[in-house]
Structure 1
């Protein structure tokens, strides 16, 4: 059964990159974590522009924390450990990081789904709609509060 973890931003955060929102930057950090765990990740965005922004941000990681990644259809036949696209994935992967405003129809094919509840109210409303959509898919849902981007601990609650 698929599991969804929503990262909830408790305060308005600024990314170190002005071109990238805090939850996009946090998504890249999570992708790096899963890469370190030898898990392949698919990052789904709403647009080509968003996919390019994530791709560019991942290139800015320092050499010690480089995350091999590519846009869907580029690179090796089965992709790199982290693939980014605004289109559905071509190959199965265990982890989906959703940066889209909607819950993708193909989400149920992933073991683990990462999603976000950004601080701005309009984005919270979209996250509530995604939460409801995932619930209808029958997946296990949980949340983790992101108190501060530099914090290493977060609170966790699970809903059945």
Structure 2
């Protein structure tokens, strides 16, 4: 059983260049790295994975997060691994889900992070994922996305 945390985004966070949940996922991957916890960022497809990879490269130098696309980088992967296919190793405690579906392998992770975007079509997909996570017995929680910035500023 996994703990699944859904972050609720609002309209103000959706006005950025990239999807707001991508920006939030960058922040969460960065926080995971700083807490010495490896994570996997699971994307819908290779294009989305490469976009997310690019976003991590755009972080300021003092916020750099060692990361790689699955199959690249050091043996065992960097602290943050970005994939769009089922990972080959499950030696990481955190899964950040950017795909539209519940990853079949999500229960191999202690913590799953998912998002509820403000856009109505994406919100409907998030509701479906919530139901699917709950149906297989996961512990579910929700938090406003704004709480990340608050904890980031105080941490």
The correspondence of residues 119-134 of structure 1 with structure 2, limited to 5 A, is 119-134=118-133
Conservation of the 8 A alpha-carbon contact between 1:12 and 1:120: no
Whole-angstrom CA distance in 2 between matches of 1:90 and 1:40: 15
Moved over 3 A (4+): none
Deviations 1:52-108 (A, max 9, x none): 000000011111110000000001110000000111111111100000000011001
Query: What secondary structure, in the 3-state scheme, does the structure 1 residue paired with 2:76 have?
Result: coil
Where in structure 2 are there 5+ consecutive unaligned residues? none
State the partner residue of 1:8: 8
Structure 1 residue 12: Cα displacement: 4.0
Where in structure 1 are there 5+ consecutive unaligned residues? 154-160
State the partner residue of 2:37: 39
Whole-angstrom CA distance in 1 between matches of 2:131 and 2:147: 26
State the partner residue of 1:58: 56
State the partner residue of 2:111: 112
Between the two proteins, the alignment pairs up a number of residues equal to 149
Conservation of the 8 A alpha-carbon contact between 1:11 and 1:147: no
Deviations 1:137-157 (A, max 9, x none): 2110000012488x416xxxx
Whole-angstrom CA distance in 2 between matches of 1:36 and 1:133: 31
What is the Cα-based RMSD across aligned positions, in Å?
A: 1.4
